[in-house]
Amino acid sequence: MKKLLLAGGLLTLAAFSLPSPPLDDLRTTNDPNTTAEIPQDNKLIIYQLLPRLFGNKVALNKPYGTIAENGCGKFNDITDQALAEIKKMGVSHVWYTGVLEHATMTDYSAQGIPADDADVVKGRAGSPYAIKDYYDVAPDLAVVVKNRMPEYEALIKRTHGHGLKVLMDFIPNHVARSYRSDAKPQGVVDLGATDDKTKAFAPNNNFYYLPGKSFVVPADYNPLGPLKGPAEDKKYTETPAKATGNDVFSEAPSINDWFETIKLNYGVDYQQGRKPYFAPVPDTWKKMRDILVFWAGKNVDGFRCDMAEMVPVEFWAYVIPEVKKVNPNIVFIAEAYDPKVYKTYLDQGKFDFLYDKVGLYDGLRRLMRQEGNTEDITRVWKEESNGFSSRMLRFLENHDEQRITSKDFATDPRRAIPAMTVTATLASGPVMLYFGQDVGEPAHGSEGFSGEDGRTTIFDYWGVPEHQKWLNQGKFDGAKLSPEQKSLRDFYRRLLNVTSASEAIRKGRFYELQDANNLGKEYNQRHLYAYLRYTDKQQVLVVVNFSADKTYRPTITIPAEAMTAMGLDSKRFYTYTDLLAPEEPLKTLKLTLAPLSAHVFELKPQ
C-alpha cells in the first residue's frame, strides 16, 4: 500500500469467465492430498505497470530529481508495439497503476493544478495512493496536460484493440490532505463540502475531525533531503485536523504514519468502539459508488481496490452489485492481508478476487531465500484458501513488494523459476507479473523519498534501468538485454502462455504428490514440490526444485488413487511432455531436476 518513512510465441487465450457464487460442493474427499473444491476458470494473466515509470526513456536517475531531470512515462508511451509485446507474454489484463490524480510537488499551475505543499507529499512525484481528485487523471501522464483524460481514454481503447482488458486502482480508504475535485461532473458535491466539522464523527460526514486541534507536520519529515520542496515550512494548515489514513486519530501523526492522507468515513465511529451507522446508507458510500460508476463508464474492466479491509465489508456488499448493474462483467480485486476475513470479503463483500500475499507469496519468498519449506505451500491449499483457491490472486512482485533480484530478497532472478511456476499453476485463480520482473530488475539505488529498500519507487521520478533495456527507447524489442535476461524473459513468456492455454491449469482439480514421494530416493521434500492438475481432457504434472545448488534425480510416483482421480488407468504406460521446454517426450518419470528448475509435464497414453 504505502511506504512508511523510516529515521513479455502468442497463444490464444481462452475466454475469461466470472467466478461463480459460493458453491455447496456435495462431493467430499477423505484423501489428505486434495480438496473437494471445484475449481473455477478464473485464470486472468495480469501485467502490472506504472505509466509514470513504464515508458520513461531517461536514464539520468538523479536522487530527488525533477520530472524535467529524470523524465516521466506517459499514457502515449504505452504504444501498440508495447501492448503487442505484452500480449505475447500470454497476458489477458493490464493493470495501470497510479492513474488517478494524486498529490505531487510538480507545478501545473498554468493548467490550473498548483503544486502541493511538500510537508504533506511523499516524494517529488508523490504517492499514487494520496488521491487529489477521484474524477481526474495525473497530469504527469499526459503529453498535453489539458488532454489528459482523452489520452487515458485512448489508452483504454488501444489496450482493448489488442484483446487486453484494463484494470485500474480504486483507493477507497483515504485521500490526500489537499483533496479537492475540480474535474467532478456537474451536480457532484465534493467530499467534505457539507461536513459538520464541529463533530469528531457524524454518520454522513465524509471525514473524521479533531475539533479544536490543528494538524501538526511530523517534525522530522524532510521531504526532499538536501533540497527545498514547494511551501516546505512545517506549517501546513488544516484546522480542524482530520484523522490520518492509517486510522490515527491524532492531530500529530508520526513520520511512520500515512500522514500525507486523511481517512474517509464510511459510517464507523472508531472512537466509540467502532459503532456502525449503516442505515440510512452513508453519504460516503453514495459518493464512492458514483466515482466507481464514472470509471466503469470509461470502459475499464476492473478495479484493484487498495487496502480493502480498512473499509467495512458492508460497503463492498452494497457498492459492488451497484457497479455491476452498469457492467456485470467488471472485476473487483481486493488488496487483502487477513486470512481470517477472506471468506467474508468474498462471500459477503462480493469481491471476485483477493490478494494471496501472507500465504503463498510469503511462503515462496522464504523458499526463494533458501529459508523455507514446501510445507508452506501445502498449508496454503489445504487450509488457508481451501474452498476458494480459484479466487486468490497470486504474484511474486508488485509495487509494494521488494524486487526478486534485489539484495534484500533473492538476489538471483532465476530463483523465481520454480516459485513463479507454482504461483501460476497451483490453482485456477489469477496470476500477476510486475513490469521489469521478467528481465530481473533489481531496484538498485536510492531514488529519493524511496530509499535503498529493494523496491522500484512509486514516489519519485525515475528510470527503471533493466526494464529500459527491453524498452529500448520505445522500440520494445529487448535489443539491449543480456543473453541471460532474454532467457529469463523467455521463461516467463513460455510459463504464462502455457498457463493461459492449458485447460488443466485453467480449471483442473489439484492433487499433491508430496506424501507419495517423500520416502523416495533423491526426493528431498524440503526443496522439491510436485502436484497434478487435471480435467477429463488434460492431465499435467508440475515438478519444481527450489534448491539453488543441488541437482536431484528422483523417480516420481503417481499413486493409484491419483490416477483414478484423473480418470487414468494405472496399469497403462504414459508419455510425459514438458510444456515449458518441448523436447522428446519422456517414457518414465525418472527425472533430472537441476537447481532452480521447473517442469510442467502433460500426460498422454503410450
588, three cell numbers: 518414465
Q: What percentage of residues in the chain have a pLDDT greater than 90?
A: 94
Residue 29 binned pLDDT confidence (cut-offs 50, 70, 90): confident
Separation of first and last alpha carbons in the chain: 51
Residue 432 in grid coordinates: 500477476
Element (H, E) at 531: strand 528-534
Tell me the pairing of strands 209-210 and 392-395.
unpaired
With 90 as the cut, is the pLDDT of residue 10 above it? no
**Domains of the chain by start residue, with CATH:** 45-176+274-500 (3.20.20.80), 509-605 (2.60.40.1180)
CA angle 268, 269, 271 (to 5 degrees): 140
Q: What is the pTM of this model?
A: 0.95
Asked if residue 2 has pLDDT above 80, the reply is: no
Q: How many CB atoms lie within 10 A of CB 298?
A: 14
Residue 20: pLDDT band (50, 70, 90) is: very low
pLDDT band at 5 (very low <50, low <70, confident <90, very high): very low
Cα–Cα dist 150/372, whole Å: 48
For residue 286, what are the contacts with CB-CB under 8 A and spacing of at least 6? none
Q: What is the pLDDT of residues 116-143, one digit of tens each?
A: 999 999 999 999 999 999 999 999 999 9
599 contacts: CB under 8 Å, gap ≥ 6: 541, 542, 543, 544, 578, 580, 581, 591, 593
What's the pLDDT tens digit per position in 386-445?
999 999 999 999 999 999 999 999 999 999 999 999 999 999 999 999 999 999 999 999
